[in-house]
A and B are shown apart, each in its own frame.
Chain A
Amino acid sequence: NAGVTQTPKFQVLKTGQSMTLQCAQDMNHEYMSWYRQDPGMGLRLIHYSVGAGITDQGEVPNGYNVSRSTTEDFPLRLLSAAPSQTSVYFCASRDTGTSYGYTFGSGTRLTVV
């Protein structure tokens, strides 16, 4: 049981480049989210999805796109990377309707130069 798998673990981008952070879960969770974590800011919600074909914006969605074509996968796309997007990104999933808690991926450390 792999849980939540995120790739890559580390990435360096140049300003203006685009890329996709991959996230996959094998727990059949309906609810998936992307967070970014910055020093002193805690975890901030970027986008989330309550099921395949349904996505919505979180607290800090600008500069990011998501899609949810299957229950398992929830990729995060950076359209045109900016230094302000330097952060650690976490994908997380949980059962809809329970507040038991998220299962988090291991994170992606992204640096934009």
Chain B
Amino acid sequence: EDKVVQSPLSLVVHEGDTVTLNCSYEVTNFRSLLWYKQEKKAPTFLFMLTSSGIEKKSGRLSSILDKKELFSILNITATQTGDSAIYLCAVVHTGNQFYFGTGTSLTVIP
């Protein structure tokens, strides 16, 4: 059965800390992995990863994929209170089905 597992489920850090969020998957016919950030409402797209070892970066956020070990990490450096959100990982099957993880809830305390 295809599945996506995110860890930790929740995390509380202080402003300025660096955090690493994990996403492991067991999905046959992998096509890509996506990260989303969900604040109060709808998830918004962060990154799409298709190739191993190539880091995607946007400001203080970065992400990398390891297709051999079947996982991805999302790093956030120098966290701010505005980073508080649920971070969702989704793996896309070659049939274009999306499999979402349960998400990691990040709280950044001033």
State the A residues within 8 Å of B (CB): 31, 33, 35, 40-45, 90, 96-97, 99-102, 104-107
Contact across chains for A99 and B41 when beta carbons are under 8 A apart: no
Contact present for B45 and A101 (CB under 8 Å): yes
Chain A residue, CB-CB nearest to B34: A101
Q: Is B34 in contact with A107, judged by CB distance below 8 angstroms?
A: no
Q: Please indicate the chain B residues that have their CB under 8 angstroms from the CB of A99 in the complex.
A: 31-32, 34, 48, 92, 96
Among A41, A90, A97, A101: residue with most chain B CB under 10 A: A101
CB pair B102 A40 closer than 8 Å: yes
Question: Which of the residues B42, B96, B97 comes within 8 Å of A104, measured between beta carbons?
Answer: B42
Which chain B residues border A41 with CB–CB below 8 Å?
102
Which of B's residues lie within 8 Å of A, judged by CB?
4, 9, 31-32, 34, 36, 41-45, 48, 88, 90, 92, 96-98, 100-103
Partner of B101 from A35, A42, A106 at Cβ < 8 Å: A42
Q: Within 8 Å CB of A90, what residues of B?
A: 42-43
CA A40 to CA B48, docked complex, whole Å: 23
- Is the Cβ of B96 less than 8 Å from the Cβ of A97? yes
Contact B98 A106 (CB under 8 A): no
- Is B41 a contact of A107 with CB atoms below 8 Å? yes
* Distance between Cα atoms of A41 and B48 in the complex (Å): 22
Contacts of B48 in A (CB 8 A): 99-101
Interface contact B96-A96, CB-CB below 8 Å? yes
